[in-house]
Amino acid sequence: MRAQSLTLAVAGLALLAPTTGSLAARHAQGRPGAPAIRQEGAVRAAELLARVRECAPVSRGRYRTDDGVPATVSVCGTREAVFWTADMDIDCDGRPGTHCNSRTDALFSDTTAFTQSDGRYLSAETLPYIVVPGASALWNHRDHGVRGGSVAAVVYRDRVQYAVVGDVGPYDIIGEASYATAQALGIRPDPHGGGAPSGVTYIVFRNSLVTPIESHASAVELGERLARSFVRTTDRTAGVPGDGAAAEDPTGQAAGAVTEEDDQDPAEAWPDEEDEGDE
């Protein structure tokens, strides 16, 4: 879980047409050492982003994306899901591995808020998961059908990745996902200087549960089914706590909008390793 600002750099390549089939994944290779990029399932990013274009806030205020920056992100809701658009900081917490350990990440913790079926902590390197803010007066995820193992669709540019809720972060900061989530979306997964500065949409399906939590195949299967139903539903806000609030965009711009920084060529947005230096 991340509680300090990170210097973020965007990485990735444009995705070709998505595959079909609920468990299918499409891979594209970038420059040497670049993360794999894959589109999971047949529900397109554009369909999901169109469905969350308007925001009926369920949070009682807004979240910051990093320490020391203004609070700009609302958690929004429909009957089926809660969602927000923010940055992506890299969570490397959980079982240590080659890329996620105390040497690679100064903020590394060998625990996660939730554990897998054998009692061990989750692996940020291998399991796509997202981080939700800690429960507070601002927003309590448990009151909105979100818990450990809830399935989420994470959308970045034209890519969709299914993940589970796997960790809990600071109560006032939002926008974080595991090393594996970032890697699959073509975002540089390095906990030191990686991530995406904006334009990542997190859609968590209410009252869903992936069993066991560590089964990514189960997350894709359930996520694809719920996403397909979600994009076909037109009743966006009925029955949501906070109904009647003026619809807004969760970040003050159209959901999924590409900022000037997001629209960089991936090769330019991701500097060579030898040029980075210590952040």
Task: Return the sign of the alpha-carbon dihedral for residues 263, 267, 268, 271.
Answer: positive
Whole-angstrom distance, CA of residue 264 vs CA of residue 43:
25
Q: Is the pLDDT of residue 35 over 90?
A: no
Torsion of CA 136, 140, 143, 146, to 10 degrees: -150
- Averaged pLDDT, 242-247: 42
- Residues 134-184 pLDDT 10s: 999 999 999 999 999 999 999 999 999 999 999 999 999 999 999 999 999
Radius of gyration of the chain (CA): 17
Give the closest residue to 132 by CA, choosing from 116, 117, 115, 112: 112
Given a cut of 60, is residue 279 above it in pLDDT? Answer: no
Find out whether 168 and 206 touch, Cβ atoms under 8 Å: no
- Residue 2's pLDDT band, with cuts at 50, 70 and 90, is low
Q: H/E element holding 196?
A: strand 196-205
Q: Kindly report the CA angle at 235 between 234 and 237, in degrees rounded to 5? A: 135
Q: What is the pLDDT of residues 107-137, one digit of tens each?
A: 999 999 999 999 999 999 999 999 999 999 9
- CA angle at 34 for the pair 126 and 25, rounded to the nearest 5°: 55
pLDDT surpassing 50 at residue 217:
yes
Instruction: Quick: pLDDT tens for 250-263.
Output: 444 433 333 333 44
pLDDT at 33 over 50: no
Predicted TM-score of the model (pTM) = 0.75
Task: Give residue 207's identity as a one-letter amino acid code.
Answer: N
